[in-house]
Amino acid sequence: MAILTLPQQEKPSLSVRAKALVFEDPKSRALLSRIRQVAPSSATVLVAGETGTGKEIIARHIHALSDRAGQPFVAVNCGAFSESLIESDLFGHEKGAFTGALGAKMGWFESAHKGTLFLDEIGDLPLGAQVKLLRVLQEHEVVRLGSRQSVPVDVRLIAATNVRLEEAVAAGHFREDLYYRLAVAKVTVDPLRERPGDILPLAEYFLNVYAERLGAVAQRGAPVLTPQAQRALLAHPWMGNIRELENAIHHALLVCQGGHIVAEDLPLLALPPRRNTASGGLPTLAAIASSTTSADPREMLKAALLALYGEASSPSLWDEIEQMAMCVAYEYSHHNQLQTARLLGVSRNVVRARLLQFGVLTPGTRSEELDPPGPPLGPQLAASPERLGPARPLVRQDAATHR
């Protein structure tokens, strides 16, 4: 079994990161093959995947398989940069470049000279820093703050993201030219729930690691996962990926009794399904229903919205929600605009405008075609004609004025 782990000396300080990756599942073996293809070159690599899937481990393995293996590997989280010191951190500064700059300091690019610089959460990098990063990648040199002298750097860049940079580019939050510069070679890490063949090997690995740390191995040997616990592990969606699995095994090891881990020892919480950042799709009704024990449609909707907000990488999320609400109401009302307006508590003009905007209707459609006969509304709607006005806008006022 192939297992990749973070360097042993760094493990104690990385409790919030996925620390291991196995390649038992067919998708993982395909990933390993892809890594071996791109590693020998000096091309920039973009590693995409959900939080907790082990993107840094992959970056380190790419470095280890390259001809830079004996040189520095510098890992930096872009989300941890101070807004005012980003350029200093990346490119360095000279003495007196700003208040508090008491001496010259090299940046991360110079620290990684001849080696590999890993920029995690590259999507968090502000646009100003993106411009300068692009220039460094093109010119292979940095200019420290407070200096006019360029410093040559020979660095292979590996960037990682847990959001869809394509959508960030479309929204103007990420430079298109930088995106293409980073994605010369792209590696996509599937979430753990889509790699079931890796779940039990990873669980056994973490079980042995934490049992050894806790001294359980010397006392009575590592606990054993019962068949019931194994089934529970395989059935869980693992929205937190490898990181969640690691923490679940650690917890189970602390509370288990008799040298056996049963399903009740595993803290498997039924969290709402997250937005699929790889495909950009919305959660299915079945996925929403499985995440909540309530039969109340409002609770199911709340679970779905929580999932979307938790992974809100789309710059048009509000528009998607509004379009879905309007189109579902229109379908429910058998394509009758008046009944749709009553159902949503807005004016018919708002309904027509939104349906035209979403492409459901086309300009010039005759009135009798717009409102085919539909079933009678429920008493709570039919008895409330006053709900047609005043209209309550479905969009924010600032957005509505520009449409």
CATH of the domain at 383: 1.10.10
78: domain CATH number is 3.40.50.300
Flag residues of the chain having pLDDT under 50. Answer: 9-16, 218, 272-294, 312, 367-369, 378-403
Residues 168 and 234 in one domain: no
Q: Are both 139 and 223 inside the same structural domain?
A: no
- Total number of domains in the chain: 3
137 and 217 assigned to the same domain: no
**330 and 229 within one domain:** no
The reported pLDDT for the residue numbered 348 is: 87
Amino acid, res. 106: M
Query: What is residue 44's predicted lDDT score, i.e. its pLDDT?
Result: 97
Residues 82 and 200 in one domain: no
Task: Please check whether residues 104 and 208 belong to one and the same domain.
Answer: no
Cβ partners under 8 Å of residue 204, min gap 6 = 225
Q: Which domain holds residue 362?
A: 316-400
CATH code of residue 249: 1.10.8.60
Contact between 55 and 120 under an 8 Å Cβ cutoff? The reply is yes
Residue 259, H or E segment = none
DSSP conformation letters of 78-139: GGGS-TTTHHHHHH-B-TTSSTT--S-B--HHHHTTTSEEEEESGGGS-HHHHHHHHHHHHH
pLDDT at 357: 84
CA angle at residue 181 from 32 to 120, to 5 degrees?
Answer: 60
